[in-house]
A = this chain, B = another copy of it.
């Protein structure tokens, strides 16, 4: 293998937490993602040769994609390395899984080069190793859907496990990205260390109801389960106009509305594209009257996760 080969991977943006599933639930969206081109090189390790679309460290040990790739290469004990060209398509710090997408793309790409020695679940595990750089703790609720696509559940971290959940056919999402900076670590520190047992029970019921709703395409149950008594009451304080935006989205027919990941993006899950478009329009109107600038993105909940978009060999 002295020929030069490159593989280019697309990994989608993702919404984590999804109201009732803090740290365990997430889903993939369409039309927004990171693109990484991997080139196999004789020298061990990971070298990042370019990053476009965002200002991020080129040093592999300080970059989520680099850290994830290095963890995987070390585990597999390969005697060569990779050069990465990273194109960020997900705005930094938006709360839609930008770091997870880059980590997902690199582990998915390495696996392609090696003819898939690892399962998607194992890739999510190594992808998660990159997340530590971004958020300071290991969580896989973005990286799992960025790899698997659709909805994913992390029922537990010990042992680490990913469950791929069904995606009802008619689920769309409106992403609302306000141009604010919320540090992921700050968003964690605002949370209480202890919660009422009663709230823990309620939230578990919502999550279980949501999972059941996905298996049965029961949009009413999905809607009733998109609640969050544990996290949202604290984090919404960081998001201007959150309550107003939520009321408008629900009145417009959204199944649910909440914070995407640790914010600042918000999401509205909707039955059908029309409602998702209407939510987008109304929330653009709302924020136009404020000092906060927003972008919105309407997408189907995507069953597609990371994938090869081109292979080049000479």
Q: Which residues of A come within 8 Å of B, CB atoms?
A: 20-25, 153-156, 159, 161, 163, 165, 191-197, 199-212, 215, 221, 224-225, 227, 230
Q: Are B24 and A201 in contact (CB under 8 A)?
A: yes
In the complex with contacts A204-B200, A207-B207, A208-B208, A155-B221 CB distance below 8 A? yes
| A10–chain B nearest beta-carbon distance, Å | 27
| Cα distance, A165 to B205, chains bound together (Å) | 13
Q: Are B201 and A197 in contact (CB under 8 A)?
A: no
Contact of A200 among B203, B215, B227 (CB under 8 A): B203
Q: What chain B residues lie within 8 Å of A156 (beta carbons)?
A: 202, 205-206, 209, 224-225, 227
In the complex with contacts A200-B195, A212-B163, A206-B22 CB distance below 8 A? no
Q: Are A155 and B212 in contact (CB under 8 A)?
A: yes
Contact of A221 among B24, B163, B201, B203 (CB under 8 A): B163
Q: What chain B residues lie within 8 Å of A204 (beta carbons)?
A: 20-22, 24, 200, 203-204, 207-208
Q: What chain B residues lie within 8 Å of A205 (beta carbons)?
A: 23-24, 153-156, 207
State the number of copies, please.
2
| Cα distance, A193 to B200, chains bound together (Å) | 11
In the complex with contacts A161-B209, A224-B159, A230-B21 CB distance below 8 A? no
| Cα distance, A193 to B225, chains bound together (Å) | 24
| A167–chain B nearest beta-carbon distance, Å | 14
| A211–chain B nearest beta-carbon distance, Å | 5
| A190–chain B nearest beta-carbon distance, Å | 12
Residue among A23, A159, A227 with the highest chain B CB neighbour number at 10 A = A23
Q: What chain B residues lie within 8 Å of A20 (beta carbons)?
A: 204
| Cα distance, A141 to B221, chains bound together (Å) | 18
| Cα distance, A201 to B20, chains bound together (Å) | 10
27 contacts between A and B (CB under 8 A): A20-B204, A21-B204, A22-B201, A24-B204, A153-B208, A153-B209, A155-B205, A155-B210, A156-B202, A156-B209, A156-B227, A159-B224, A161-B221, A163-B209, A191-B197, A192-B197, A194-B196, A195-B195, A195-B200, A197-B230, A199-B200, A200-B203, A204-B204, A204-B208, A207-B208, A208-B208, A211-B215
